Amino acid sequence: MGMSIEMIKPPAEILYERELRALREEPQGLRPASWLLSPVQVRDFIIGREQPALLDGEQVEITRKFYGNDIQIERAVVTLAGNRGLMLVGDPGTAKTMLSELLSAAISGTSTNTIQGTAGTTEDMIKYSWNYAMLLDKGPSEQALVPAPLYNGMKKGILTRFEEITRCPAEAQDSLISILSDKVLSIPELDGGVLFAKPGFNVIATANVRDKGVNEMSSALKRRFNFETIRPVDNLKMEARIIESQARSLLIHSGIEIEIDTDVVELLATTFMELRTGMTREGYKIDSPQAVMSTAEAVSVYVQSAMTSYYYENKGVSLDRLVQNMLGTIAKENDKDLAVLRTYFSKVVKDRAQEDGIWKEYYREKKWIN
């Protein structure tokens, strides 16, 4: 019987509620206006620390949630304390969205004040719209105004997250320029309609480098942001730790209580890193697929494989399920990428299979790629 689940994916402020509460109970030192935590505490919440916090007399471990450049986290936090927005850019699957969510949860107490950028995003979806029944009945008024995330952020003094900003049309993007510059939102439909942003307001935006050229940001908008490039994980042990911790969390919140197989995690991390970088651990060059071989995709492969094994075989993750789910990830953009995976098995995995162990079992599952 699975555990009781109230939501499929809890936001960071719920998932790490005890850590956040414990940090808020501590002496906070220097803290920007309206922030719930100090910059030091925000950094510690994201990258973890050795010293536990206290909550109701109990010790609460402050865990690492983001694996990457710790100094970059400090720069991101300081940016949000200033007058410029924060732009997180990088390859798909480099945890830009997760970092944005963690920052918002720590600073504002909520990570759900979010604009999801798409080709259909309009200025109304970003700023505000109207309840047209009330508008026709009584005319423009604050009661008839329907706030959008940017309005909410300015009104409440909290962060506004803007996901996939380069997926939006240029006119929607450029509606941010004056707001980021002056922290003022004009509402011309109302007499004297001006909304001044409260302290604590700022914007965290994300963009994938693979979307470059879809709707390129204007130079004027770029100047309103400090850019931080989130790079793929380049350390095998770190990648394995991320896969293990995130897979465990996702499985628990899916009501699946099974042990994480660390040997399978290391094998998966090795495969993804070698295919992503085009270099084996022995120093041989190999072809890389066009598909995104990110850590997030590796987590998805492990979770899907574990769920398949759990529901259909009533056991932990198996290598045949791992390879089957890997196919869907690698063949996502180009069927020719399957040839790259086939070659990887025929050369790299085959050589390692000469020794007894998990690589030998892994090589037997090459049949699913043929």
The strand pairing partners of 208, in sequence order, are 90
- Looking up tokens 């719930």, which residue turns up? 36
CA nearest to 109, candidates 197, 205, 20:
20
Q: Average per-residue pLDDT in the chain?
A: 91
Q: Which amino acid is at 31?
A: R
Q: How far is CA 366 from CA 98, 302, 306, 327, 341, in A?
A: 34, 17, 19, 11, 9
From the CB of residue 184, how many other CB atoms can be counted at a distance below 10 Å? 12
Q: What is the pTM of this model?
A: 0.88
Q: What is the mean pLDDT of residues 110-123?
A: 95
Percent of the chain at pLDDT exceeding 90: 74
> Out of 30-44, 78-92, 140-154, 331-345, which region has the weakest mean confidence (pLDDT)?
331-345
Structure tokens at 320: 């045949």
Backbone angles phi and psi of 156, in degrees to 5: -95, -10
Q: Give CA angle at 21 (15, 24), nearest 5°.
A: 135
Average pLDDT over residues 298-327: 92
Q: Where are the beta strands (DSSP E) in the chain?
A: 53-55, 58-60, 85-90, 114-116, 128-130, 145-147, 159-163, 184-186, 194-196, 202-208, 225-230
The rounded radius of gyration (Å) of the Cα atoms in the chain is 23
Which pair of tokens denotes residue 59?
């010790």
Q: What mean pLDDT do residues 29-34 have? A: 91
Q: Flag whether pLDDT at 212 surpasses 70.
A: no
pLDDT digits (tens, 9 = 90+) for 75-96: 999 999 998 999 999 988 889 9
Predicted local distance difference test score (pLDDT) of residue 186: 93
pLDDT digits (tens, 9 = 90+) for 40-49: 999 999 999 9
DSSP letters of 250-279? HHHTTT------HHHHHHHHHHHHHHHHTB
- Cβ atoms < 10 Å from Cβ of 203: 23
Task: Tell me, rounded to whole angstroms, the distance of Cα 242 from its chain centroid.
Answer: 13
pLDDT computed for residue 213 by the predictor: 56
- pLDDT at res. 214: 66
What is residue 340's three-state secondary structure?
helix
The DSSP code sequence of 98-158 is HHHHHHHHHHHS-S--EEE--TT--HHHHSEEE-HHHHHHH-S-TTTEEE-HHHHHHHHT-
* Residue 101's pLDDT band (cuts 50, 70, 90): very high
What is residue 330's predicted lDDT score, i.e. its pLDDT? Answer: 87
Of 175-179, 226-230, 242-246, 252-256, least confident by mean pLDDT is 252-256
- Average pLDDT (248-272) is 91
Residue 73 token pair: 């986290």
Are the CB atoms for 319 and 306 separated by under 8 Å? Answer: no
Kindly indicate the confidence band of residue 118, based on its pLDDT and cuts at 50, 70 and 90: very high
| Residue 87 · residue 228 · CB < 8 Å | yes
High-pLDDT (> 70) share of the chain, %: 97
pLDDT at 240: 95
